[in-house]
């Protein structure tokens, strides 16, 4: 481990930065997380310098061998201590300082025509590409869990709500899928962002480009990028890919939060539709009977933190002049924090859904005849009554039922036909009062009929299989 301070700058400075500036400036505790990407970029840069005739075969060999030793060193130190013990200001300085101990003078040639500006931008993009894939995988795993439940519980009928008021009967699976589609869109956004993130800034220098004849496309291909950034000033200052990720993480957090809120409500004694396992519940320090959905509450709370990070970084970027400014160093702290928080939330939400139990009898017991008021209106429409008139008529029926102190199902047939003869015979009218018949009306695409719900499941399974 290199114990001496190693700077990538400082030749014209006669004094060290003050301790307060060092504490604010040094980013090694944060960007040490990029050590693999920094080594990967350095290996590729050394190979390109050699391929383009700017690095001898001997120096190239010594650098590559030295970087292998540095990697083993860093991995061991991080594994043992959870941090790097360097006094270097960032991961780039730490890697190059350690390389000097292993490769000698050859290490001094590694940074030829390279700036920390394009080096840092490259490391971050490389890390982001892996992060984008990891979040997509985690979301797909959660979607798989939700589809499994939706398929198993497709015959459970439960209340659907608007304004938190009982509205219409729906299949429980239809509710689960409403959240599943939102997560599917999050995956699509992350995938779509990958194309823009997969452009290599390396070879852009500090801002003006590379003065040596290198092949940036060959370099990008070696690093696994799809393309190169088209403008060197843009390359070192652009953090749009970070903004996009933070915004998508924020939106995904909102989706997880809304799902968590629904399940938290449904787990209360007042609702009682779901129950969470001990693995995803906690208790009270005072009240022994409590079973708290703390996991989902933390998921719900995390949405605000994700939104805050997204907004905070946009504020950092808002007034920056061209091109690189040290303000941009904050990108990694917010990026890593949001990524970690989002991944934790997805795992907890997925685990809660995978292990929870659903009380189908309790869900069914919360259905009430007034929730079939829309079905009565549809009944009249099918008999030729204009919908607006049908809507008004059913309102009169509800009012009359309240006056009699009965529900819609118990109200005498004579009362119905007195209000509107088109309600038909008693036998025909009573057929409306069926939860299964109610949900099975909604056969159009996206509806809650069994076939329509199964079609949603099939679509999502086909999408996952692509």
* pLDDT recorded at residue 3: 40
Q: Choosing from 14, 19, 79, 163, which is the catalytic residue?
A: 163
* pLDDT recorded at residue 71: 98
Alpha helix positions (H), 153-200:
172-197
**407 with 397: CB under 8 angstroms?**
no
* pLDDT recorded at residue 13: 63
Question: Rounded CA gap, 107 and 46, in Å?
Answer: 10
pLDDT tens across 404-445, in order?
Answer: 999 999 999 999 999 999 999 999 999 999 999 999 999 999
Q: State which residues of the chain have pLDDT below 50.
A: 1-5
CA distances from 171 to 141, 160, 281 (A): 23, 9, 26
Question: For the residues of 410-430, what is the DSSP string, one character each?
Answer: TS-HHHHHHH-GGG--HHHHH
User: If you search the block for the tokens 């490391």, which residue do you land on?
Assistant: 123
DSSP reduced 3-state for 246 = helix
* pLDDT recorded at residue 348: 97
* pLDDT recorded at residue 2: 44
Check if 19-112 and 369-465 are the same fold.
no
Q: Choosing from 284, 322, 357, 434, which is the catalytic residue?
A: 284
Strands 165-171 and 157-162: antiparallel
Question: Rounded CA gap, 4 and 87, in Å?
Answer: 7
Please state which architecture CATH assigns to domain 369-465. Answer: Orthogonal Bundle (1.10)
Question: For the residues of 58-124, what is the DSSP string, one character each?
Answer: HHHHHHHHHHHHHHHHHHHHHHHHSS-----SSHHHHHHHHHHHHHGGGGGGTTTT--HHHHHHHHH
Any catalytic annotation for residue 284? yes
Any catalytic annotation for residue 163? yes
pTM: 0.92
Domain ranges of the chain: 19-112, 117-214+223-364, 369-465
- The closest alpha carbon to 383, from 429, 439, 447, 438, belongs to 429
- The closest alpha carbon to 37, from 130, 102, 115, belongs to 130
Domain 117-214+223-364, CATH: 1.20.200.10
* pLDDT recorded at residue 76: 96
- The DSSP output letter for 221 is H
Domain 19-112, CATH: 1.10.275.10
């Amino acid at each position: 481990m290199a114990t001496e301070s190693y700077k990538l700058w400082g030749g014209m400075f006669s004094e060290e930065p003050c301790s307060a500036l060092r504490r604010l400036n040094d980013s090694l505790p944060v960007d040490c997380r990029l050590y693999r990407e920094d080594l990967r970029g350095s290996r590729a840069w050394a190979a390109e310098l050699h391929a383009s005739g700017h690095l001898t075969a001997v120096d190239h060999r010594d650098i590559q061998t030295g970087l292998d030793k540095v990697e083993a060193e860093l991995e061991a130190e991080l594994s043992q201590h959870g941090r790097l013990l360097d006094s270097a200001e960032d991961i780039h300085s730490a890697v190059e300082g350690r390389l000097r101990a292993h490769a000698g003078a050859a290490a001094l040639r590694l940074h030829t025509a390279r700036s920390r500006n394009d080096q840092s931008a490259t490391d971050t993009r490389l890390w982001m590409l892996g992060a984008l894939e990891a979040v997509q995988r985690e979301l797909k795993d959660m979607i798989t869990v939700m589809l499994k439940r939706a398929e198993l519980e497709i015959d459970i009928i439960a209340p659907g709500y608007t304004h938190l008021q009982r509205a219409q009967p729906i299949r429980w699976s239809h509710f689960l899928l409403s959240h599943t589609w939102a997560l599917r869109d999050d995956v699509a956004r992350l995938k779509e962002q990958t194309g823009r993130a997969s452009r290599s800034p390396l070879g852009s220098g500090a801002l003006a480009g590379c003065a040596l004849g290198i092949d940036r496309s060959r370099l990008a291909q070696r690093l696994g990028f799809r393309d190169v950034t088209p403008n060197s000033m843009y390359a070192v200052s652009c953090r749009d890919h970070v903004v996009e990720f933070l915004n998508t993480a924020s939106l995904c957090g909102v989706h997880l939060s809304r799902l968590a809120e629904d399940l938290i409500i449904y787990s209360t004694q007042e609702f009682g539709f779901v129950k969470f396992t001990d693995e995803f519940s906690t208790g009270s320090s005072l009240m022994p009977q409590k079973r708290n959905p703390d996991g989902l509450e933390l998921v719900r709370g995390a949405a605000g933190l994700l939104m805050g990070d997204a907004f905070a970084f946009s504020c950092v970027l808002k007034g920056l002049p061209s091109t690189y400014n040290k303000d941009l160093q904050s990108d990694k702290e917010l990026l890593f924090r949001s990524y970690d928080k989002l991944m934790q939330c997805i795992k907890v939400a997925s685990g809660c859904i995978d292990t929870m139990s659903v009380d189908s009898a309790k869900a069914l017991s919360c259905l009430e005849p007034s929730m079939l008021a829309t079905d009565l209106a549809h009944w009249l429409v099918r008999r030729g009554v204009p919908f607006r008139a049908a809507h008004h008529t059913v309102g009169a029926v509800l009012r009359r039922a309240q006056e009699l102190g009965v529900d819609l199902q118990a109200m005498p047939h004579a009362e119905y036909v007195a209000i509107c003869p088109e309600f038909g015979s008693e036998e025909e009218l009573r057929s409306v009062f069926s939860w299964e018949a109610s949900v099975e009306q909604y056969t159009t695409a996206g509806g809650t009929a069994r076939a329509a719900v199964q079609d949603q499941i099939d679509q999502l399974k086909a999408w996952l299989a692509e």
